[in-house]
Amino acid sequence: MARQPLLRDHNGEIVDLSRLTEEEGGPTVTGVRQPMPEHPSWGLSPDGLAAILRDSEGTNPARYYSLLADVQEREWHYRGVLFQRRGALAQLPITVDPYSDKAEHIEHADLVRRIVSLPDFTLARFELGDALDKGMAFGEIVWETSAKQWMPKALKLRPQQWFRFDRVDLETPRLIDEHGQDQPLAPYKWIAHRARLNSGIPIRDGLGRAAVWAWMFKNFSIKSWQIFLDRYGLPMRLGKFPTSATRAEKAQLLAALRNLGRDAAAIVPEGMSIEFTKADGGAGGGAAFKENATYFDEQLSKLVLGQTGTTDASKGGYAVGRVHEGVRDAIALYDGAVLSISLIRDLARPAIDLNYGPQEGYPLIKIGLGDQKNVETLLKSIPEFVALGLPVEASQIYPLLGLTEPAKGKDGVLLRPAARPEPGAEPGGESPPPEEVRADPPGGGGSSRRTAKLSAEPVAAAPDAIDRLADELGDEALIAGLRGQIEAAIAESTSFDELKARLEGMAKGPAGQKLVEMLALSMFNARLAGELGAPVRDLP
């Protein structure tokens, strides 16, 4: 397969083919890229959080990325809604359109379809969705050249802690090498996906930058709530001793009170007593802490999903949920459009250039529902479209069904069954062309036959039993009368109960009973027509 000896990526950098089949961004034993995680969230104060955020805007955001990984572990609600958004991105439909209708561009699109249909590609899309939290996600492509073709063998997500940004623009990502120095990402080796949720430098792009504050404030509420439960969850034990009690007896009574909090069993000398008093708790018995935590959960839902109706119970029920679901779907479609841009640049173009050389244009990867077509309606309309003399490219039909156009001379393809010979035709004789029919002239014998061309207009089929039933049930006078009665009942009713009573009365009236009889008879006639081929009786 033709391949240019010298390739350049979209930035004009020369592609080193010798580096494409080996991993270069994996963990190291002695270098700085080690898989041992850090936990900057442990014991973190608001001042410490502010310092991490300030430092992340420089050239070394490693602690910031480690903090976001901690927050996903410790903030359960944020992790749940983030998983919803990443899961929706991974499961959106994906299509590949050729750059044009040229044969070579259709072949290029088929290659990209094979890549994106690999079993691990859904998981790869989910992992690249980590950019929603951290702003950037880096997937290293390991290529293989078996069967004389370049194909991705694996896509490995690398921790963001192993990357820094250019010291000048704070936007171009750099890989940290074994010696702790920055090196450019090898062309055609990396998918560098940016979430595009905010303008400015990539470090301020992800959802995590806002989520860390909600996590910290909610964490304070949860901690105070736990202290409250520990202090006021059990009734207070009050010990009373006589005035003549010795120091040892007082110590024995205090130990008994403490044991009651752990073992619920204690002994005291005669003359001493223990009372249990119910604690007031104050401030609604801890409700303030719960309400504060719930408030931050709702804000995190709005941050990630744009709404709360699909994660938290709210007033309005089904209608509100449908509206909120539409908001969530719109966000997922945007995420899919942004990921499509990254995949076209960092996956589709390298695959085509490595196998076919540089091109004037590349296949278009589409992720999402925005450009989906009603395949069933299109397939039903195409025969009528062609019958009018308007040609349709076969290359536009195959992608609708998720199929690839068969190569010329390829075995094992499905074909249309051969036409049956006409009655009376001689065995082995040639059948007439499908666009011709044989007919005898009026008054003539079978010996003098002529050929008559079929009209270009489609011939309407004779109506069957079901068609006749549909026409007879469409009694315009009856339907118009019922519609008028229903509209009048709606306009004149002052309550739902009144409207319901009037509709029930209409159903028992002459027009309603006639419609019921017509429906019953039509069902009977339809079954006869279907099972016995019996003619349909006229409806009354």
Confidence of residue 436 (pLDDT cuts 50, 70, 90): very low
**Cβ neighbours of residue 370 closer than 8 Å, sequence gap 6 or more:** 333, 337
Confidence of residue 484 (pLDDT cuts 50, 70, 90): confident
Q: Per 3-state DSSP, what percentage of the chain is helix, strand, and coil (rounded to 5)? A: 50, 10, 40
- CA atoms of 20 and 189, how far apart (whole Å): 6
Question: What is the average per-residue pLDDT within 268-279?
Answer: 65
What 8-state DSSP symbol labels residue 190? E
More confident residue, 208 or 492: 208
pTM strictly above 0.95:
no
- CA atoms of 45 and 66, how far apart (whole Å): 16
Contact criterion met (CB below 8 Å) for 293 and 224:
no
pLDDT at 532: 62
What 8-state DSSP symbol labels residue 344? I
Most confident of 35-49, 358-372, 423-437, 438-452: 35-49
Q: Please count the residues of the chain.
A: 540
3-state secondary structure of 36: coil
**Cβ neighbours of residue 367 closer than 8 Å, sequence gap 6 or more:** 89, 92, 93, 94, 125, 336, 337, 339, 340, 343
CA 22 to centroid of chain Cα atoms: 32
Residue pLDDT, tens place only, 50-82: 999 999 998 789 999 999 999 999 999 999 999
3-state secondary structure of 123: helix
Beta bridge partners of residue 182, listed in sequence order = 176
pLDDT at 112: 95
